[in-house]
Chain A
């Protein structure tokens, strides 16, 4: 639910990174934070446990600049990956404009990916939203690992509707911006 403020001439859009625990959601937005010019991004907020696991969310605002008189900004959020934080996940999804599902390519994480995807559908449905009818992309992360499942296999399990997908190695930044670019363009299209 983007907010268009005609009084202050601002548009804010919310993009949420979703997926199983330790899949690389936080790594994605940390990479974005490191790479974009300091004057185009705000503070990176991380509500994490002592062991650096996301407890509530990570948050990064990125300014697109002033476009046709509107200051346009994306708010990037991650959700906690662990299932027992589902209440937090639901709160973060509130008012979402676009979703990036960060899947862990490792064969051993196959069940965790499927469980997180089902959980995403359920939580969006509670808001009356359907990922098939909203800005949504999938990122297959950790493609550099020797135990990564073939993309065709991941596609069969996680992407039956054929939404855009990207291969990534988020620790090196590979695929991070391609993913963000794709989802943010979908969000923009939906506003016009």
Chain B
């Protein structure tokens, strides 16, 4: 596996474009909420109704779920499961891969149909894929590497001392 960028950044214009795509998707599909999570378990953004659960924990578990299913796919001779569906009595979720590094999680209830969610997800995954491929190629370019200022690191270190200081 090749070495990935040490870190990746997400700019305001990326966020605006992604937000537009997700809102159009929610409107068209009837889903309640959409979350974008990176494969390492970090939450990127949420669109639609704010979920009542702990979204940080949710992101970590969703990424683990998706990754574990990837391994299961390879064990049965599939390259991947590009989407997963978890059905509940009232609430269900649909997870789909975006550009191999991001997971789209769609939460919907019985007012939306699985068929519509599938169709609309396929479309928005393609559009989001375009945005993320562009974003990752920008991040991979050494000339665009954006570092945090030293003052930020100094303050972060002080905060680490305060929070994790002598006990």
A72 touches B156 (CB 8 A): yes
A184 with B160, Cβ < 8 A, contacts A1-B5, A189-B153 known: yes
Q: Which residues of B contact A1 (CB under 8 A)?
A: 4-8, 40
Complex CA distance for A181 and B61, rounded to whole angstroms: 26
Q: B84 contacts the other chain (Cβ, under 8 Å)?
A: no
Q: A residues touching B (Cβ–Cβ < 8 Å)?
A: 1-8, 11-12, 14, 35-36, 40, 42-43, 45, 47, 56-57, 59, 61-62, 64-65, 67-68, 70, 72-73, 75, 77, 87-88, 91-92, 94-97, 126-129, 173, 177, 180-181, 184-185, 188-192
Give the interface size bracket for B toward A: 35 or more
Interface residues of B (CB under 8 A from A): 1-12, 14-16, 38-42, 44-45, 54, 56-57, 60-61, 64, 67-68, 71, 146-153, 155-157, 159-161, 163-167
Known: A7-B14, A94-B39. A191 touches B147 (CB 8 A): yes
Contact of A61 with B39 in the complex, beta carbons under 8 Å: no
Contact of A70 with B152 at beta-carbon distance under 8 Å, contacts A2-B7, A57-B64, A192-B147 already known:
yes
A131 to B119, CA, bound (A): 44
Return chain B residues, CB-CB under 8 Å to A75.
41-42, 56, 60
